[in-house]
Amino acid sequence: MKALTIGTVTLSVLVMASCGAGNSQQNAGDSSDSAEYMELFDGSSLTGWRGDTSLWRAEGGALVGEIVPGEELANNSFIIWDGGQPADFELIAEYRMTGNGNSGINYRSEELAEPLFALKGYQADIDAANTYTGQNYEERGRTILAFPGQHMRLPEVSGSVSDYAKGNIWTAGEEVESLGDRDSLRLLIKENDWNEIRIVAKGNQLEHYINGTLMSKVVDDDSANRKLEGMLGFQVHVGPPMKIEYRNIRLKNLD
Residues 200 and 178: their CA atoms lie apart, in Å, by: 19
Collapse the DSSP code of 162 into the 3-class scheme (helix H, G, I; strand E, B; otherwise coil) and give the result.
Answer: helix
Return the amino acid letter for 185. Answer: L
Model's pTM, two decimal places?
A: 0.87
Residues 60 and 44: their CA atoms lie apart, in Å, by: 8
Interval 46-99: pLDDT, tens: 999 999 999 999 999 999 999 999 988 999 999 999 999 999 999 999 999 998
Please check whether residue 94 is in contact with residue 64, taking contact to mean a CB–CB distance below 8 angstroms.
Answer: no
Q: Where are the alpha helices (DSSP H) in the chain?
A: 24-27, 182-186
Residues 243 and 55: their CA atoms lie apart, in Å, by: 10
Provide the pLDDT for residue 172.
98
Interval 195-213: pLDDT, tens: 999 999 999 999 999 999 9
Delineate the domains of the chain, giving CATH numbers in brackets. Answer: 12-253 (2.60.120.560)
Contacting residues for 185 by C-beta, under 8 A, at least 6 apart: 134, 148, 149, 179, 210, 213, 215
**pLDDT exceeds cutoff 80 at 187:** yes
Which of 77, 148, 157 lies closest to 118, judged by CA?
Answer: 77
